[in-house]
Structure 1
Amino acid sequence: MNQDLLVEAVLASGVVLPAPGPGFLRLQAAAADENAGPRELAAAVSQDPAITGALLRVANSPVFRPRSAPRSAQEAITMLGRTRTLATAASTALRNQGSGLDDKAIEALWAASARAADLTYAVCRATPFKGLADTAYLAALMQDAGIAVLLRRAPEHAVLFHCTGCALEAGARALDVLTGSDHTAAGFLVARNWKLPVEVCEAIRAHHEPAMALRLGDSARRIALLLATGRRLRDGLSPDWTDWAEPVEAELGLTEAALDQISADEH
């Protein structure tokens, strides 16, 4: 199906897209002001303890290797920067809308997304495209947002995500078949509605379709390749990786040996 038609079909199927919460909206508005710094961004989330707590947890995680532990939202934002702050807030806001869904499935889904984001960030830093690392981190955190959206419409399929690794990707494909929908199109719609960067929306839309990804503009294409590489490092060799390996090596310069080394460094 034409991808534009697929997006329209997802909307027509009765999928309800989540609205961003007030804390995320305040942060997004503050981040749009080029003159706003960490103090203004911290003020925007000061009334949202879930986002504040998430920022502190992410800033203190091993992937960012802080020299000293951030103790406030402002210190965390200073260390994370604008894009990673927005990424953390967006994923937290979306996760908090999972009330009433299967806790085990939602926890597995978001834990997998967080791990993929950490690995995508790390692998991007090993390529000539280091400047995309923060944006790729955002895309990786949000790449499977469509799964949560489809589960809200079809909660009986949550058992598909009582798993980790390659089984999660198999669960996503099964969910698409069982619901007659497409989680990548649903994720694209969430990202677009939440006004995430265009290249992030496009990479999410193509994150299981190498042929589509290779037709995207430079930034979106590279982010899609980075997302696939992050999943490869998270899950190991899998059927999902087969069609991505060659373009990843050609454009990002990452051989299997290089990926194995990055994997070893990150575990």
Structure 2
Amino acid sequence: MVQPLDMNAIDQALQGFTIPPQPDVLLHIQQLVQQPEPNMQRLATLINMDIGLAGFTLKVVNSAYFGLRSKITSIEHACKFLGVNRVVKLVRSVLLRFTLEQGQQKDPFSQKLWSNALLVANSAASLARHLQWPQELCDDCYTLGLFRNAGIALITAQAPNYADLVKIGVLAGQGYSEAEEHRFHTCHEILGYLIAQSWGLPAELCNVIAYHHSPALILESDNELEQRLFAMLKLAEHMSGESRVLFDMTLDPEWEQFAPQMLDVLQLELFQLPELAEVLRQNELSTIYTG
């Protein structure tokens, strides 16, 4: 496991930022599922209390990732289809976006940020499923894809020129977090870690979020699960073209430097990437591979 974050770094990163608490509906849902026999009807009722949450939950359930032959049209059916644990993971991720966007103007970069988060989440989960990872790990890949950049939403709320400034730093040879700390005196890795921890994500997912722009550190972790989740996340980011989408850059320094180690963790070879891209296309997910 990677080293715990230094509390001084956390205190410094939090200056001027507030970590959003879990919404009440999520707290009620989590209390419900902790019961010996959770009531599915009550679970569906809680989700239906927010029309936005209910609508987006159905949208995700009916996405190509789940491969349903017919569309699910009710939250009750979705809960029965997914099961309690998967519903909680899905709802947590959906609520994250709603919570961070609340009261904010939906600027073009924020739209790209969440659209890309959904693409990376679906790509990571689809690739994990293709590689026959256990369903729980596939779901963790989805959650990780949505949560890892949550800290960026907090920074951009105060710095509308975030993308331009980070791009300048990366093109000058800085890492993403280094560029952020230089310009905003915080970084989205730590902010994202604190959000994930506050919202009850497992320790391994919190650690990957905390170090997802520190490949050298996490690839040396003695925790195999952290390494696998991290490698799958970076593969999904690369194949979705995240640096192009968010920062209009063809440069992908982390992948270019650490691709062999990441692929080794996943037991993949570079020549297999076009094949994986075809898997994503079959799931209606865009990639940087056009051949």
TM-score strictly above 0.5: yes
- Once the two structures are TM-superposed, the CA of residue 126 in structure 1 deviates from its matched residue by 3.1
- Counterpart in 2 of 1:255? 269
Whole-Å Cα distance in 2 between the matches of residues 216 and 160 of structure 1?
36
- Counterpart in 1 of 2:245? none
Identify which of 129, 140, 143 aligns with 2:145.
140
Whole-Å Cα distance in 2 between the matches of residues 216 and 137 of structure 1?
23
The yes-or-no answer on 1:177 pairing with 2:182 is yes
CA contact (8 A) 2:215 2:254 kept: no
CA contact (8 A) 1:144 1:183 kept: yes
CA contact (8 A) 1:136 1:223 kept: yes
Identify which of 120, 125, 130 aligns with 2:129.
125
- Counterpart in 2 of 1:112? 116
- Unaligned stretches of 5+ residues in structure 1: none
- Counterpart in 1 of 2:93? 91
Residues 10-49 of structure 1 aligned to structure 2 (within 5 Å) = 10-11=13-14, 13-33=15-35, 35-36=37-38, 38-49=40-51
Whole-Å Cα distance in 2 between the matches of residues 225 and 208 of structure 1?
11
Identify which of 47, 54, 57 aligns with 1:55.
57
Identify which of 188, 191, 195 aligns with 2:193.
188
CA contact (8 A) 2:29 2:43 kept: yes
- Once the two structures are TM-superposed, the CA of residue 256 in structure 1 deviates from its matched residue by 1.9
**Among the aligned pairs, what percent are the same residue?**
25
SS in 2 for 1:125: helix
Look up the equivalent residue of 1:52 and give its one-letter code. A
- More deviation in 14-23 or 213-222? 213-222
- Once the two structures are TM-superposed, the CA of residue 158 in structure 1 deviates from its matched residue by 4.8
Question: TM-score normalized by structure 2?
Answer: 0.79
- Counterpart in 1 of 2:206? 201
- Once the two structures are TM-superposed, the CA of residue 206 in structure 1 deviates from its matched residue by 1.4
CA contact (8 A) 1:83 1:135 kept: no
- Once the two structures are TM-superposed, the CA of residue 189 in structure 1 deviates from its matched residue by 0.2
- Unaligned stretches of 5+ residues in structure 2: 243-250, 282-291
Structure number with bigger Rg: 2
CA contact (8 A) 1:84 1:138 kept: no
1:23-50 CA deviation, whole Å, 9 max, x = no partner? 2222222233352264343133121212
- More deviation in 83-92 or 23-32? 83-92
Whole-Å Cα distance in 2 between the matches of residues 150 and 216 of structure 1?
31
- Counterpart in 1 of 2:230? 224
- More deviation in 34-43 or 100-109? 34-43
CA contact (8 A) 2:176 2:213 kept: no
**Distance change in 2, residues 1:54/1:34 (3 Å):** farther
RMSD of aligned Cα (Å): 2.8
- Once the two structures are TM-superposed, the CA of residue 56 in structure 1 deviates from its matched residue by 0.3
- More deviation in 186-195 or 170-179? 170-179
Question: TM-score normalized by structure 1?
Answer: 0.85
Whole-Å Cα distance in 2 between the matches of residues 178 and 21 of structure 1?
31
Count of residues in Structure 1 that have an aligned counterpart in Structure 2: 260
Whole-Å Cα distance in 1 between the matches of residues 211 and 11 of structure 2?
16
- Counterpart in 2 of 1:239? 253
CA contact (8 A) 2:141 2:233 kept: yes
- Once the two structures are TM-superposed, the CA of residue 82 in structure 1 deviates from its matched residue by 4.1
